[in-house]
Chains A and B, each alone.
Chain A
Amino acid sequence: MNFSPAIGIGRLLSGFMSFGKKYGIEWWIMIIGALIVLAIIFMAVCARIIAPFSPYDQNAGPQLLPPNEKHIMGTDNLQRDVWSRIVFGAQTILRVAILAAIISSAFGITLGLISGFTGGFFDKTLSLIMDSVYSFPGLILAIAFATMLGPGVINITLAVAVIYIPTYFRLVRGQTLSIKEELYVEAARAIGASRTTILWQYIFPNVIATTVVIFSLNVADAIMIEAALTYVGLGLPPEIVDWGMDLAMGKKFLVSGQWWLITFPGAMISLLAVGFTMFGEGLSEILNPRLLER
């Protein structure tokens, strides 16, 4: 029982490298994306340990200080440390985006499965509604819902969640429709499998692979929408730490050249979205290799 951690890590790394050689650059894109995401999640989870100041502390340092040793990202107009706000802001945005994606996928996948499987009038109507929502600018709907529901973390999560349901719906419905016609489904029906069984045991597993990819990209999108909503001032009360809101606030000081107020929150939003996107795109290439790419 001699498990040296070095050997374990070595094995892991060589495992990575062999995957890397097999799949090429897409594998690395996926890994880098995953690393970025994990790093930021880590930052969010350990916020209290990592951040030198409280994000609400209005006495962290002198006002509007550019980045220096004590405040690596400077301070804002309320004398708060920007870096601390970034660290805690990660919590907000991750919470909203991931939760919204989970809600979206739950509803979208279920509805897609049922609608595709059942067909008929129900399917036609639902598809029409979903298609219309899908083609409509998501941001406007999100703004509408956010205004309607008022500020609050749960509310903004719901607002963001609703927009993405049609995406899952369309994808899952499409796949359900084609899988439904496959021979082995017919066979299952012939031996008396109930419709629920067919749905869950046969169709659902086939759908899952693509859904994971969409989920990742969904989170990336949700991050963008959440930040956009808070940037325009909807969705969250000012007490909550959020990157989008910090951007909106920092915007006022742009003209006086205090660049650190907008550069860092915006960069973090981009980075987090990039992380999820890279993960999703890399994964999608691996699951569906486009052979011509080689």
Chain B
Amino acid sequence: MVLVLLSIVFVVVRIMPGDPVSAMLGGHAPESVIEQKKEELGLNRPLAVQYIDYLLQICRMDLGESMVFKERVTKAIFQKLPATIELSICAIIITLFLGIFMGAYAADKRRSLRDYGIRFYGIIIYCIPVYWLGLMLQLIFGIWLDVLPIAGRTGPRVFASTFEKTGFYILDTLLIQNFSALGDVLIHLVLPGVTLGLILSGIFVRLTRANMLDILRSDYILAAEARGIPHYKIVYKHALKNAFIPILTMMGLQVALLIAGAILTETTFSWPGMGRLLLERIYLRDYPTIQGTIVVFALFVATISLIVDIIYAIIDPRIRY
């Protein structure tokens, strides 16, 4: 399946309009120079050859060289990747916490006003454009209340270059024990993380609730009640653990939405990640980078599916034996 994804990327990038070489050379270059450059870049070879070459390159983790800037695509991507990953992880944590607990709570208080309220939330939240939520939160918390920063990963007085090592600022600041920088990094994560986390939580709320309703009707829950186990333990330990498995599957499926959301969140919060990179390079018609970014996204999707499968095996003993 990864193969199909990569092939699609290949096709899509190739059929984008506009001659990239002319764009690169400034539009008024003579024919001969254009031809020469094309030859140089290997764009005149038959498509099949280009395709094989493309796949081989990916295996070698080499994504080519940017047409606009003089840099290796791989390097550019890996510079920006940690930012996106940090944001994503933050969002995932918020989403899962919110979604799962709200869902369990709603299932527990079935048919109460709180239940209907939470169900309503679940339906509505997904319909709110993530960038609009971001903008509104920026407006409220950044401008009117002025308590949270609205752009970038660090504030004006913190210089990332002083501690940047892995690119994961949370790790980096912890490594050098610079706690004020850590605080700064964390507070910059709040708005974008919460924005993305909120939007994605809706579906988990609904999924958890639906699963919990089923599970709470099952025999082993009844048997546990008959043994005198208190209510909150029944809901939040016995029932919830069983609800995890389908939630995990959903998490795997939501990666695509996570990426889409991340791209939009990054533009709104000026977050220097892969999403913004992609959009920038699209404007600049920098095809190798565009292709490279999409490839990395595709690989990302595939990896998450794999991780989900692994976590499955850890949680559900029935799969192991």
A interface residue numbers (CB < 8 A to B): 25, 29, 128-129, 131-133, 135-141, 143-145, 147-150, 220, 224, 227-228, 231-234, 247, 251, 254-255, 257, 259, 262-263, 266-267, 269-270, 273-274, 277-278, 281, 290, 292-293
Contact = CB atoms under 8 A, between A and B. Distances in A.
Contacts of B268: 251
Sorted from nearest, which 9 A-B pairs have the closest CB atoms? A266-B132, A139-B260, A273-B127, A132-B4, A137-B256, A137-B259, A137-B260, A274-B127, A148-B16
Contacts of A263: 136, 139
Interface in B120-139: 123-124, 126-129, 131-132, 135-136, 138-139
A292 B131 contact: no
A273 B124 CA distance: 9
Interface string B255-276: 1110110011001100000000
A270 B5 contact: no
Given A137-B259, A148-B12, A231 B131 contact: yes
**DSSP majority for the A interface?**
helix
Given A266-B135, A274-B124, A140 B1 contact: no
Interface in B256-298: 256-257, 259-260, 263-264, 267-268, 278-279, 282-283, 294, 297-298
B294 A144 contact: yes
10 contacts: A128-B4, A129-B4, A135-B5, A224-B127, A231-B129, A232-B264, A232-B267, A266-B129, A270-B132, A281-B123
Given A132-B1, A137-B260, A293-B213, A228 B8 contact: no
Nearest to B298: A136
A139 B135 CA distance: 19
Contacts of A251: 135, 268
B112 to A, nearest CB: 13
A136 B260 CA distance: 10
Contacts of B315: none
With most chain A CB atoms within 10 A of its CB, the pick from B210, B256, B283 is B256
B131 A228 contact: yes
A270 B282 contact: no
Interface string B207-224: 000100110010000000
B12 A266 contact: no
B123 A138 contact: no
Nearest to A146: B282
Nearest to B3: A132
B12 A247 contact: no
B5 A148 contact: no
B310 to A, nearest CB: 18
A293 B217 CA distance: 11
Contacts of B126: 277
A138 to B, nearest CB: 7
A262 B143 CA distance: 14
A128 B12 CA distance: 17
Nearest to A290: B210
